[in-house]
Amino acid sequence: MDVSKSAYSRYRVIDKMLKNTFRPYPTLLDIQEACERSLDKTPSLDTLEKDIRNMKQSEVFEAPIVYCRKNLGYYYSNPNYSINSIPLTDNDISSIKEALDLVKNLGGGNRINERFSDAIQKILATYKEEFPDSDTKRKIIQTDYVEGAKGYENFNILFNACKNQNPISFVHYSYTKREFKSVIVHPIRLKEFENRWYLIGYSEHHHSIRTFGLDRMYEVVRLRKKYIESDSDEIERYCTAIYGVYPIENQAQQIITFLTSISITNYFEAYPIHPSQTAEKNESGSCYFTINVVPSMELVRMFRSYGSNLKVVYPLWLKEQIKSL
């Protein structure tokens, strides 16, 4: 639920009155007077009633507000509750402010998870109050993410299936084979590569670990079925010891050496393509880079994209494959 700044200001007045042990059980009229004093505005009794209802029903606040018939006023059924109950130092607030700017620029959380978005919304409500001058609409960081990308609708169910190790059923469409298939997968993890999301899991159909693009998955359902644990070495091969997501079949993890021209060496030095990357720079400025990975389709594609500025030195099969195109 999006809370406007004016509504949140009234919530704070209501909260303050319900926390006041010297004047317990405030009525709507008491709250209206308090708003007049604190906010220089006189909200209607209907508005205040609605505010109380929103505070109670909101997933953000879940305020335990109860009307006491005996005392004819409102109170918190949990006396420890407050909408300001999280104590934050100035440093905490400053750090949160920076993080929120980052998250907002990355898409406000909507890209990933609705629940996360709700949590962010809750913090943002306070944030707007504490930093009324902040310019939250101005983008400082820009990412590749484009609204409308397919597949994110399944993100939550896949995340929970990975977390709880629930086998899943979904329909997969292969772009390359132009083929639909319904599959059962024992999910391991979600992985992002080049701004695209993939599910890595054990496929019963393939009898091995496979990668599935989220954009090609339809109607994921979780199954009550025994989860098949995958071999940790195999998981490592698919998830960590690789540049990209689709390993080339029948290729083990191996040393790959490539030579970069002086015009692109700096980029590889600045942005290593894999944690295993090492460099041996030549006097001219060109450089031999070595990585220890499972060769992947994405690695081949990336090598080719540099044309004559990048030459694979080792292994020979990869050198020939790159040269032949």
Partner 1 sequence: MIKNSKKLVFHLNVFGHGDSNPVLLRIHLFPEFTKIDFGYITTNMYINGGWIKIAADTFIENVATKERYTLIKAEGITIAPAKHNFKSKKDWQYFSLYFPPVKQKDMTLNIIEKVKGNKHDFNYYNIELKITDGIEVI
Whichever of 56 and 225 has its CB closer to partner 1, that residue is 225
CB of 179 to partner 1, least distance (A): 7
In the complex, the residues that contact partner 1 under the rule CB under 8 A are 166, 169, 171, 173, 178-184, 218-219, 221-225
Alpha-carbon distances, residue 96 vs 12, 105, 116, 120, 122 (angstroms):
20, 14, 15, 10, 12
Whichever of 139 and 150 has its CB closer to partner 1, that residue is 150
Whichever of 223 and 322 has its CB closer to partner 1, that residue is 223
278 backbone φψ class: left, alpha, beta (φ>0; ψ -120 to 50):
beta
193: exposed, middle or buried (C-beta count within 10 Å: 0-12, 13-18, 19+)? Answer: middle
Whichever of 25 and 173 has its CB closer to partner 1, that residue is 173
Contact 184, 205 (CB under 8 A): yes
Alpha-carbon distances, residue 287 vs 259, 279, 299 (angstroms):
6, 7, 18
CB of 204 to partner 1, least distance (A): 9
Cα–Cα distance between 188 and 165 in angstroms, integer?
7
Alpha-carbon distances, residue 252 vs 242, 271, 290 (angstroms):
10, 24, 16
Whichever of 145 and 218 has its CB closer to partner 1, that residue is 218
CB of 250 to partner 1, least distance (A): 26
CB of 295 to partner 1, least distance (A): 29
CB of 180 to partner 1, least distance (A): 3
